[in-house]
Structure 1
Amino acid sequence: MALVLGGLWLADRLFPPPLPEGGGATVVLAADGQPLRAFADADGVWRYPVTIDQVSPAYLEALVNYEDRWFRWHRGVNPVAMLRAGWQWARHGDVISGGSTLTMQVARIIEPHPRTVFGKARQMLRALQLEWRLSKDQILTIYLNHAPFGGTVEGVEAASWAYLGKPARQLSQAEAALLAVLPQAPSRLRPDRAPDAARVARDKVLARMQALGVWSAEDVADARIEAVVARRLQPPLSAALLAQRLRAAAPGEARITSTIDADLQRALEERVTAYFARLPERTSAALLVVDNETMTARAYVGSLAFADPTSLGHVDMVRATRSPGSTLKPFLYALAIDDGLVHSESLLVDAPQSFGDYRPVNFDPSFNGPVSVADALRLSLNVPAVDLLDRLGPARFTARLAHAGLSLRLPRGAKPNLAIILGGTGTRLEELVGAFAAFNRDGLAANVRYRADAPLQERRLMSPGAAWIVREILEQHGRPGQREDVFDRTGRPPVAWKTGTSFGFRDAWALGGTRRWTVGVWVGRPDGTPLPGQYGAITALPLLFEVIDSLPVRPGDAGARTLPDSVQRVEICWPLGLPPDPHAPQLCRQKRQALALAGMLPPTLPERETRAWGAGRLAVDVDAASGERLSATCTGEHRRRRHEFARWPSLAYPWLPLAERRAAAIPPLAADCAADSFAAMETLRIDGLGPRSRIARPPNSDRAATLRLRALGTPGRVRWLVNGRLAGETVGSRHWTRAFAEPGGFRITALAESGAWDEVEVEVLR
């Protein structure tokens, strides 16, 4: 006996059974267990791994009682069943009933063999090995995952989804009986090809279950009524690019559960496909929906058509680096509020400005003059944003965003510059969404999570107060092209949104957030070629609102938000940007209701030019009768009166009404008074030409190169000098025109009566 046992032990060690390994086939699941995408193994087999607990008890009952009801008692081979099968074969000359146990079937699955006596003997030995090495549940699990169900489908879970469109844990008794008998003849009994044969086989199992007393006659009668209806056999393909991404991140993992809502994912994939069906050829799109509370992705559309090579559907645009256009502006204004530079109604100037060699313009080439922070953000004005970034610092702005997980990618060797706020950089949709969620998460940005077990990585991007103020600004924007009183939106939460369009119409963006959701949309061509006429507000924004309106709403999502303790509503005045002074009401030229951080009420920003006086509260002595300014030394007799007034930024003057210009002007100096320091306070700026510019005559024209300039910052007379010689005069901001017939370098000076001046240099080319 010892020799026999020793020999068996040695044979088992020398010839172990080829137990299946987990590598190869992978299935990526939605949060509720629905398969999103299956990846076949090297042999092209589709398999969705499951455990016994993940399979319907009805299926386990049908399988064990129909195939091997003594499974829990024998040790791999049932001698009674083998003798009965052998006797029937000898008597009838044909197989009447099989003698294979479930363990023997597993042995044949993992190691196919010919249907010969030798093959049967080998199968029995392998079954004994399996029983020696594994528990009954382990053997049953191998069967559940590797039994053939027709075609390239293996395992009950893959079969349940392929034929019935549901997980194996939800099988009815009729469906359980069908799948229990299918591996006996998977090609002949496939319900999608032979529903009648499959029904006969299923009813045979039902009859056996009733005869054994496992299922009641009533249950069996109900099960017989169910028709055998199968779907067309095809693997699932939803959130294909995310599934591919998760599989690459976890190689060898057979079952990957994502955070995706399967029903929402399929609905949005269909919506995106239908929405962009008429866009030009090679256009793609990306969509990401995130739950703000958990930062889990609930829908992920990486491209417009995954299987379309013309639109490069295999390129995942959720994580592709693209120019963000103006989508970074909300972060800039939030950080500027935190730094005490501005509040929601701070006075900015949307006017032509030069920042060194950089001269930005708006998407709409017109300018608006004096604007508030709120209006500049809602209108997505470029010049005020560049001006504010210049004061905050592009390197600091970039570092703050990177710390919160929003990386701005620049060409190798390049440093952060002012152009990044207008899209002169690269970033990813998933990073933008993770940062934009901060406006509804008290200033906390976070990485987007695609698996429930992925860690939540949060970083402070802005203060809760700054996030509240900017979100309030964006929520008050309304929906473009739609009057608020036309559609009843009771019960729908307000949306804080921002669009963006990159240079050359290469990228169209829309970001939006509610209390519960943050949604990001990108539209463009993956190869970077332009989409003329397609920009964020008309291409991406309508889809954003369609998606947000289709998302679930919880009670309280649409309610009014309470003003946090860190934010205060305060009345301020332009141009100073401060609360009105009851003792000097003339200083308050325009009243506005501002949102500011508690304890911080910054005044209007000083002008950038070093010689500029900027907005400020000034007081001068004037003659009570004439209103002329008096200096410390005057030869005549005057009755002095103190005159206080508020100055506007000089760049704002061309857009101010005449009355405002006069109210903000420094009174002229009386003729009998000596010059004072106020004579140099007037700010003058030449508009229409950047520093060290070059001009040339029009091509194929005899006309000389011509300049058309104007001086900003004074209502009075301006003298124009070219290389120190008087070349003309204008009044206020009227244009001065000069033709240059000869090439060379010229120095152009504008000189106001007050003594304020500005100067630019220009080179006239041949």
Structure 2
Amino acid sequence: MTVQGTDARHKAGHDGGGRRRVFRIVAVAAAAAVVTTLAFAAWVVSLGPLPLAKAREISTTIVDRNGKLLRAYAMADGRWRLPVNARAEVDPTYLNVLLAFEDQRFYGHHGVDPLALLRAGFQLATRGHIVSGGSTITMQLARLMEPRRERSIYAKLRQIVRAVELERQLSKEEILDLYLALAPYGGNLEGIRAASIAYFGKEPKRLALAEAALLVALPQSPETRRLDRYPEAARAARDRVLDRMVEEKRITTDDAAQATAVAVPHMRKSIPILAPHASDQAVAIMKDVPVIHLTLDSRLQKVLEPLAHDRAIALGPNVSVAIMVVDNESGDVLAHVGSADYFDDSRAGQVDMTRAVRSPGSTLKPFIYGLAFEDGFVHPESLIDDRPIRFGSYAPENFDQTFQGTVPVRKALQLSLNVPAIALLDRVGSSRLASRLRQAGANLVLPKDEAPGLAMGLGGVGVTLQDLAQLYAGLPRLGTTLRLREIMPDADDERDPLRLMDQVAAWQVGNVLLGTPPPENATGNRIAFKTGTSYGYRDAWSVGFDGRVTIGVWVGRPDGAPVPGLIGRVAAAPILFDAFARTGKLPAALPKPPKGALLASNARLPLPLRRFRPFGELVRAGGDQALHIQFPLNGSRIELDRSGSAEASAMPVKVAGGVLPMTMLVNGTAVGQIDGRRQRLIDPPGPGFARLTVIDATGAADTVVVRIQ
């Protein structure tokens, strides 16, 4: 009993000591685990937040109305990093190869793929070198966001932690987009979009298998596989990707053989610089906006820039060309060619000539005729004299220094005759023309301290190509303009139309310009257009429109020096017609005649509209005295005595010449007949301007405008 009791006590003591040792071990392990966990947590916290803002920095990118790249600006450190949407902008072939080669379970893991890590460790142990890194795309993105040169367990652990954080904060699509924007491709190229454009000259939306495999291989060792330095190394890496795809039965042997037979590019291509002037202007306006959407059409811009360049070269040294294309309905600028060559200093290529103030030559004449049609004293089929005439000290002459005699108004505009245009402007009023054009959105620049005069009808005023295009776009819009825009608007961006002229007048001008004789080897009656040449052969213009777009062309030297023989019809009009041809669409029909348009030959016009007579015409063709209002004088001020009787306050009108009976009109309203002594007393309208018109039995008319006080 004594021995047994001793043994029992010994055993109990032994068991108790064992349990205490186990407890101590467990406690120490638990404490170590807690300490390790706390230390790990503290280390994770010490890493700070993910540098997502910095990772999302991209090159300022200018895209067209369809999202296609026009121009990108390198980042401050010289890198090219373009935004990309994997699902919408990257070829599925590339995505399939990328995921199969780099991260087969990308959509199934949470940042870390344990199976891939185990496989990488086993391959390292059995083969003695790294076969695959075991990093997921998320882990690679973490490394790209926080680049480190060393390859260590610590660095790998950091990637794992960051990968888990990325998966918690971003969706799989966002992770893939960010990886495709940051992946290195050698030199200063980052992201698949910059690489595809630089190496293949195209967006990554459509890639051949060989191209896709190459773009998968390059980021693994971007500097030792640079295509512009080590093309053979890049090709070998590409072929290994293709071999891996065959092993995993992702592609067939024949597909791989065809892809490996494709040569790899040996040179980088330039990042596109389309619409550089519009891009520069947009960046200046939209500061710190990473992606700017313009209204331009990259396809149209791409064909018009070479047109401007080639025609400028053909026209001679130092000559530049500018082209502007505007959508009539929206006022959106579809193409903006500011110069013949942005990088040609001899042609001042970086000066945007669409915004330069130049003399418009005869390009303002259609608006003179439009206001004359609107006022109702002339019709396209009216007859008008083209003969020597003097307006004070100003005696306009035609470009060829000849005169056509009596011609229809339609022909006078189509032939751009100067005398008829100035005669109509004298009747319309220079100040009224300037006011109406400014009302329609054009910024007319006159010499300092000078008022609008008759010379503005022949180019004696400054205007830009942009403003001319805006004005001409108002004609197919039947009399209203919209301010041009180049930056895509927000949903609530609405612009009120601006008044240019009434609908009938705008239609009449467009109908007349449609018959302008086309340049040599061009088809007529398809494009309504007008040309212009400034004084001294400094500027050649041509602006035209169909029912869809308006195109303006300027040709000249940016420094304003004359170019002998530079004429709008010869230098600018052919470019205009070629630009319309390069839109890829047949000219659209102009609007139909609006309600109220008078369609008649000269013989069927009302008598006052059959022939235009300027102010001051005193002699008929047959020697008889022409109808002329002798009193009051045109432009005079009349002060009336309104304190006495109605007869005392009446205003006398006296005329000379003409054939009785004659009708008197005040502001367009008939007020009675002129008596046999060729005079009449009228009741004056209220204070302000009044238009007095007398029409004789033959339809001849004379009009004066007076100011009643």
TM-score, normalised to structure 2, is: 0.75
Find the partner of 1:531 among 563, 566, 570: 563
Which residue in 2 is equivalent to 1:591?
Answer: none
Distance 1:22 1:178, change over 3 A: same
User: Structure 1 residue 47: deviation in Å?
Assistant: 2.1
- Does 2:282 match 1:246? yes
Q: What amino acid does structure 1 have at the position aligned with 2:514?
A: E
User: Structure 1 residue 521: deviation in Å?
Assistant: 0.8
Q: What amino acid does structure 1 have at the position aligned with 2:545?
A: G
Pairing 1:68-467 to 2, within 5 Å after superposition: 68-86=103-121, 88-89=123-124, 93-117=128-152, 118-215=154-251, 220=256, 223-224=259-260, 226-229=262-265, 232-453=268-489, 457=495, 458-467=497-506
1: distance between equivalents of 2:446 and 2:67? Answer: 40
User: Structure 1 residue 51: deviation in Å?
Assistant: 1.6
Q: Secondary structure at the match of 1:568?
A: coil
Find the partner of 1:501 among 533, 536, 539: 533
How many equivalent residue pairs?
A: 596
Q: Secondary structure at the match of 1:440?
A: coil
2: distance between equivalents of 1:2 and 1:357? Answer: 103
2: distance between equivalents of 1:318 and 1:519? Answer: 12
5+ residue gaps, structure 2? 1-32, 630-652, 659-709
2: distance between equivalents of 1:493 and 1:352? Answer: 31
- Does 2:50 match 1:17? yes
Find the partner of 2:598 among 562, 568, 583: 568
Which residue in 2 is equivalent to 1:44?
Answer: 78
User: Structure 1 residue 509: deviation in Å?
Assistant: 0.6
2: distance between equivalents of 1:380 and 1:172? Answer: 56
User: Structure 1 residue 481: deviation in Å?
Assistant: 5.0
Does the CA-based 8 Å contact 1:163-1:192 persist in structure 2?
A: no
Higher strand share: 1
Does the CA-based 8 Å contact 1:571-1:579 persist in structure 2?
A: no
Q: What amino acid does structure 2 have at the position aligned with 1:198?
A: A
2: distance between equivalents of 1:445 and 1:306? Answer: 30
Q: Deviations over 1:232-287 (max 9, x none)?
A: 33211222222222333323333334344434333322222222214343221101
Does the CA-based 8 Å contact 1:505-1:532 persist in structure 2?
A: yes
Q: What amino acid does structure 1 have at the position aligned with 2:80?
A: W
Q: Secondary structure at the match of 2:270?
A: coil
Pairing 1:679-758 to 2, within 5 Å after superposition: 681=657
Higher helix share: 2
1: distance between equivalents of 2:39 and 2:478? Answer: 70
User: Structure 1 residue 357: deviation in Å?
Assistant: 4.7
1: distance between equivalents of 2:508 and 2:485? Answer: 27
User: Structure 1 residue 23: deviation in Å?
Assistant: 4.7
Q: Secondary structure at the match of 2:602?
A: strand
- Does 2:547 match 1:544? no
Q: Percent identity?
A: 42
Distance 1:562 1:7, change over 3 A: same
Q: What amino acid does structure 2 have at the position aligned with 1:43?
A: D
Does the CA-based 8 Å contact 1:493-1:514 persist in structure 2?
A: no
Q: Secondary structure at the match of 1:327?
A: coil
Does the CA-based 8 Å contact 2:602-2:610 persist in structure 1?
A: no
2: distance between equivalents of 1:90 and 1:349? Answer: 102
TM-score, normalised to structure 1, is: 0.70
5+ residue gaps, structure 1? 581-600, 619-644, 651-676, 683-766
Q: What amino acid does structure 2 have at the position aligned with 1:439?
A: L
2: distance between equivalents of 1:195 and 1:37? Answer: 27
Distance 1:374 1:47, change over 3 A: same
Q: What amino acid does structure 2 have at the position aligned with 1:522?
A: W
Q: Secondary structure at the match of 1:112?
A: coil
Does the CA-based 8 Å contact 1:334-1:467 persist in structure 2?
A: yes
Pairing 1:590-609 to 2, within 5 Å after superposition: 602=609, 604-609=611-616
Distance 1:678 1:234, change over 3 A: closer
User: Structure 1 residue 452: deviation in Å?
Assistant: 4.8
User: Structure 1 residue 2: deviation in Å?
Assistant: 9.6
User: Structure 1 residue 392: deviation in Å?
Assistant: 1.8
User: Structure 1 residue 5: deviation in Å?
Assistant: 7.5
Q: What amino acid does structure 2 have at the position aligned with 1:107?
A: A
Which residue in 2 is equivalent to 1:478?
Answer: 517
Q: What amino acid does structure 1 have at the position aligned with 2:530?
A: K
Does the CA-based 8 Å contact 2:326-2:550 persist in structure 1?
A: yes
Q: Deviations over 1:717-745 (max 9, x none)?
A: xxxxxxxxxxxxxxxxxxxxxxxxxxxxx
User: Structure 1 residue 409: deviation in Å?
Assistant: 2.1
Q: Deviations over 1:417-464 (max 9, x none)?
A: 322222122221122112212332333323334345475744342233
Distance 1:49 1:297, change over 3 A: same
Find the partner of 1:58 among 93, 97, 109: 93
1: distance between equivalents of 2:518 and 2:625? Answer: 37
Q: Secondary structure at the match of 1:498?
A: strand
User: Structure 1 residue 344: deviation in Å?
Assistant: 0.8
Q: What amino acid does structure 1 have at the position aligned with 2:479?
A: G
Q: Deviations over 1:512-537 (max 9, x none)?
A: 22233322110112122222321212
Find the partner of 2:60 among 7, 26, 40: 26
More displaced 10-residue stretch of structure 1: 216-225 or 100-109: 216-225
User: Structure 1 residue 341: deviation in Å?
Assistant: 2.4
2: distance between equivalents of 1:192 and 1:294? Answer: 45
User: Structure 1 residue 10: deviation in Å?
Assistant: 9.0
Does the CA-based 8 Å contact 1:22-1:253 persist in structure 2?
A: no
Q: Secondary structure at the match of 1:541?
A: helix
Distance 1:9 1:351, change over 3 A: farther
Does the CA-based 8 Å contact 2:507-2:591 persist in structure 1?
A: no
Q: What amino acid does structure 1 have at the position aligned with 2:48?
A: F
2: distance between equivalents of 1:532 and 1:540? Answer: 14
Q: Deviations over 1:545-593 (max 9, x none)?
A: 2222343234xx57798555432222335xxx9547xxxxxxxxxxxxx
Distance 1:481 1:134, change over 3 A: closer
Pairing 1:642-661 to 2, within 5 Å after superposition: 647=626
Q: Deviations over 1:680-714 (max 9, x none)?
A: 649xxxxxxxxxxxxxxxxxxxxxxxxxxxxxxxx
Distance 1:349 1:13, change over 3 A: farther
1: distance between equivalents of 2:391 and 2:231? Answer: 76
Q: Secondary structure at the match of 1:256?
A: strand
